[in-house]
Copies of this chain bind each other. A is one copy, B any other.
């Protein structure tokens, strides 16, 4: 036997036809039990594995999902947004549980990205992870829908959105942050992050916090909002801008933990005590939040559950089952940066 064994090789050795081998291997009920055992034994002995290319070609179905991770082109090339890491892990595990293989690829946000994996029949569906300007992104989602590409994305769940989305309850998370700050008596809350409709997740977090503050007789002040993208450097820069404005504030709500960690550094450099002078709260609960000095209060998103749901939803979609967008609850994690 030279090269890899094929089902035909096994058929010869077992004294049956090749289709019978195929049936036996995939557990078809219409194969004689003894014949099946014989075939399985030979297959094992030859270390035979069904050729997935042939199988996928014939079945028009690859048993593979593709994960497209969108990168902010401005961010450090070598680092993946740490928020996505546990999600990546849980997606990988969920795929294994569902018997799906997983292709992974990074996409530049600026790219004219495509659904190549789906178009070339290499994957049955796509999982889209990644921040970026939603308005620019939306057009591409519409194109995917138009082409009949199956996909789910992680992100803000909005009405009338193209395709399927799974995201956390950003509004609720923002409320939790706002309620917490209000309960500490903080009324002048700065927000670091783009709060426009280009970034609907950040936008909702801002709105939620504002709602909670209003219920406590305060409100977000636009003069205390500074744009920032989700990176430590951007958070550092935004906090410095805020400080230079010389407007009074007693709390910072950062749109993400990375922004918050950058802000922590800028605030400390100016000699501000955290949380005595300024309470700081982030969003995501990435591993670094716990290690930060002081440890960062934040709004937790269940990325493990999220990964599972993304895979389940996509598998459902591919199998033609009715599947819906979904919003996951968040929870507040109080640490020293707000209640030292």
Central interface residue in A54, A62, A104, by most chain B CB within 10 Å: A104
Q: How many residues of A contact B (CB 8 A)?
A: 45
Q: How far is the CA of A211 from the CA of B56 in the complex (A)?
A: 56
Task: Check B49 against A120 for contact (C-beta < 8 Å).
Answer: yes
Complex interface bits, A58-92 against B, C-beta within 8 A gives 1, otherwise 0 = 00001010000000000001111010011011101
Q: How far is the CA of A50 from the CA of B77 in the complex (A)?
A: 30
A51 contacts chain B at the CB level, 8 A cutoff: yes
Task: Check A121 against B51 for contact (C-beta < 8 Å).
Answer: yes
CB contacts (< 8 Å) of A88 on chain B: these are: 80
A101 contacts chain B at the CB level, 8 A cutoff: yes
CB contacts (< 8 Å) of A291 on chain B: these are: 261, 288, 291-293
CB contacts (< 8 Å) of A119 on chain B: these are: 4, 47, 49
Task: State whether A92 and B79 are in contact (beta carbons under 8 Å apart), knowing that A51-B120, A57-B57, A120-B50 are contacts in the complex.
Answer: no
Task: Check A49 against B116 for contact (C-beta < 8 Å).
Answer: yes
Name the CB-closest residue of B to A48: B119
Q: How far is the CA of A52 from the CA of B66 in the complex (A)?
A: 14
11 CB contacts below 8 A, A to B, read: A4-B121, A51-B57, A53-B53, A64-B103, A79-B287, A92-B104, A92-B106, A93-B106, A96-B105, A101-B105, A101-B117
